[in-house]
Amino acid sequence: MAITGLRCRECRTEFPAEALYVCDQCFGPLEVAYELGGSLDAREAKRKIQAGPDGIWRYADFLPFAERPRDRLQPGMTPLVRAERLAERLGIDELYVKNDAANPTHSFKDRVVAVAIAKAVELGFETIACASTGNLANAVAAHSAAAGLDSYVFVPADLEEQKLLATAIYGTELVGVDGSYDDVNRLCTELCEARPWAFVNVNLRPYYAEGSKTLAYETAEQLGWQLPDRVVCPIASGSLFTKIAKGFGEWLDLGLVEGELPAFNGAQAEGCGPVAEAWSQGWDVCRPQRPATIAKSLAIGNPADGPYALELAARSGGGVDQVSDEEIRDGIRLLAETTGIFTETAGGVTIATLQKLAERGDIDRSERVVAYITGEGLKTLDANRESFAMHRIEPGVESFERVVEASLAQSASS
Ligand SMILES: *Cc1c(COP(=O)(O)O)cnc(C)c1O
Ligand SMILES: [Zn+2]
Q: Give mean pLDDT, residues 6-20.
A: 97
CB-side neighbour CA atoms (13 Å) of 197:
24
Q: Atom 12 in ligand 1: which residue has the minimum CA distance? A: 374
Q: Which ligand is nearest to the CA of 305?
A: 1
Question: Candidates 78, 97, 109: which one to mutate for ligand 1, based on the most atoms within 8 Å of Cβ?
Answer: 109
d(CA 284, CA 300): 17
Overall size of the chain counted in residues: 414
d(CA 100, CA 98): 6
Strand, helix or coil for residue 51? coil
Q: Can you give the pLDDT at residue 389?
A: 84
Is pLDDT above 80 for 36?
Answer: no
Distances in whole angstroms, Cα of residue 128 to Cα of each of 7, 52, 169, 172: 24, 28, 16, 10
* CA angle (131, 136, 140) in 5-degree steps: 90
Strand, helix or coil for residue 25? coil
Q: Can you give the pLDDT at residue 387?
A: 84
Strand, helix or coil for residue 126? coil
Q: Which ligand is nearest to the CA of 13?
A: 2
How many angstroms separate the alpha carbon of residue 353 from the centre of ligand 1? 15
Question: Candidates 374, 376, 378, 380: which one to mutate for ligand 1, based on the most atoms within 8 Å of Cβ?
Answer: 374
Q: Give mean pLDDT, residues 221-248.
A: 98
Q: Atom 11 in ligand 1: which residue has the minimum CA distance? A: 374
Q: Can you give the pLDDT at residue 411?
A: 87
d(CA 185, CA 154): 8
How many angstroms separate the alpha carbon of residue 118 from the centre of ligand 2? 26
Lowest model confidence (mean pLDDT) among 27-41, 155-169, 211-225, 319-333: 27-41
State which residues have CB under 5 angstroms from ligand 2, the bound ion. Answer: 8, 10-11, 13, 23, 25-26, 28
238 Cα nearest atom in ligand 1: 8
Q: Give mean pLDDT, residues 135-154.
A: 98
d(CA 397, CA 207): 60
Region of 212 on the Ramachandran plot (φ > 0 left; ψ -120 to 50 alpha; else beta): alpha
User: What is the pLDDT confidence band of residue 38, given thresholds at 50, 70 and 90?
Assistant: low
**Cβ neighbourhood burial of 261 (10 Å; 0-12, 13-18, 19+):** middle
Is pLDDT above 90 for 170?
Answer: yes
Domain 109-209, CATH number (from 3.40.47.10, 3.40.980.10, 3.40.50.2300, 3.40.50.1100): 3.40.50.1100
pLDDT tens track for 361-409: 999 999 999 999 999 999 999 999 888 889 999 999 999 999 999 988 9
The helix or strand, by DSSP H or E, that contains position 15, with its residue range, turns out to be strand 14-15
Q: Which ligand is nearest to the CA of 31?
A: 2
pLDDT tens track for 67-92: 999 999 999 999 999 999 999 999 99
How many angstroms separate the alpha carbon of residue 206 from the centre of ligand 2? 14
Q: Atom 5 in ligand 1: which residue has the minimum CA distance? A: 236
Strand, helix or coil for residue 391? coil
Distances in whole angstroms, Cα of residue 287 to Cα of each of 8, 189, 300, 304, 353: 23, 20, 12, 12, 21
How many angstroms separate the alpha carbon of residue 9 from the centre of ligand 2? 7
Is pLDDT above 80 for 213?
Answer: yes
Residue type, 138: N
pLDDT tens track for 111-139: 999 999 999 999 999 999 999 999 999 99
How many angstroms separate the alpha carbon of residue 47 from the centre of ligand 1? 31
Domain extent listing, the chain: 80-106+212-387, 109-209
Is pLDDT above 70 for 235?
Answer: yes
Q: Atom 14 in ligand 1: which residue has the minimum CA distance? A: 297
How many angstroms separate the alpha carbon of residue 6 from the centre of ligand 2? 11
212 Cα nearest atom in ligand 1: 9
- What are the residues facing 230 on neighbouring strands? 263, 369
Residues with CB under 6 Å of ligand 1 are 107, 109, 135, 234-241, 297-298, 344, 346, 374-375
Q: Do domains 80-106+212-387 and 109-209 have the same CATH topology?
A: yes
User: What is the pLDDT confidence band of residue 412, given thresholds at 50, 70 and 90?
Assistant: confident
Q: Can you give the pLDDT at residue 40?
A: 83
Q: Can you give the pLDDT at residue 281?
A: 98
Domain 80-106+212-387, CATH number (from 3.40.109.10, 3.40.50.1100, 3.30.470.20, 3.30.565.10): 3.40.50.1100
Which residues in 384-405 are b (16+ Cβ under 10 Å) and which e?
A: beeeeeeeeeeeeeeeeeeeee
Question: Candidates 240, 342, 351, 378: which one to mutate for ligand 1, based on the most atoms within 8 Å of Cβ?
Answer: 240
Q: Can you give the pLDDT at residue 347?
A: 98
* CA angle (343, 288, 114) in 5-degree steps: 45
For the chain, give the percent of residues with pLDDT over 70: 100
DSSP one-letter string for 163-201? HHHHHHTTT-EEEEESS-HHHHHHHHHHHHHHS--EETT
Q: Can you give the pLDDT at residue 69?
A: 94
Q: Give mean pLDDT, residues 8-36.
A: 96
CB-side neighbour CA atoms (13 Å) of 7:
11
Q: Give mean pLDDT, residues 252-269.
A: 97
Strand, helix or coil for residue 306? helix
Contact, 119 vs 64, CB < 8 A? yes
